[in-house]
């Protein structure tokens, strides 16, 4: 596993999300949503909604779910599963670690 620094802990408030771009081992950039749930739990998901090409990190976060701002599909933060239409496919969930003030993500290690 290769963790890369995504942002600082202070960059994302509880019930918030931040879009970052991290390179995978092939050097390809991947948009990642760094999400802090309303209870403070951290998650890293693919930032592109599985319905259409819009950023999930601009959506609302609450109680383990992120809602796509464009058409309202919701995704489980832990599994990436699509919970409500119009999305039907999951988004990737990546390994995330907090080390001191750093939020670290491994975009090569999907959790599903």
List contacts with ligand FES (CB under 6 A).
Answer: 49, 51-52, 54, 68, 70-71, 73, 86-87
Q: Which is nearer to ligand FES, 84 or 108 (CB)?
A: 84
Q: What is the 3-state secondary structure (H, E, C) of 35-95?
A: EECCCCCEEEEECECCCCCCEHHHCEEECCEEECCCCCCEEECCCCCECCCCCCCCCCEEE
Q: Which is nearer to ligand FES, 44 or 48 (CB)?
A: 48
**Measured distance CA(46)–CA(30) in Å, rounded:** 8
Q: Which is nearer to ligand FES, 37 or 50 (CB)?
A: 50
- How far apart are CB 67 and ligand FES at their closest, in Å? 9
- How far apart are CB 27 and ligand FES at their closest, in Å? 27
- How far apart are CB 71 and ligand FES at their closest, in Å? 3
- How far apart are CB 100 and ligand FES at their closest, in Å? 34
The SS3 of residue 24 is coil
**Measured distance CA(85)–CA(79) in Å, rounded:** 16
């Amino acid at each position: 596993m290769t963790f890369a620094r995504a942002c600082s802990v202070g960059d994302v408030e509880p019930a918030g999300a931040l879009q970052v771009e991290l390179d995978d081992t092939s050097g390809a950039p991947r948009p990642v949503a760094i999400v802090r749930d309303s209870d403070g739990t951290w998650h890293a998901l693919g930032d592109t909604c599985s319905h259409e090409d819009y950023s999930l990190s601009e959506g609302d976060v609450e109680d383990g779910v992120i809602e796509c701002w464009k058409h309202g599909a919701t995704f489980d933060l832990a599994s990436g599963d699509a919970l409500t239409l119009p999305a039907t496919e999951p988004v990737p969930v990546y390994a995330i670690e907090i080390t001191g003030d750093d939020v670290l993500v491994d975009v090569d290690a999907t959790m599903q």
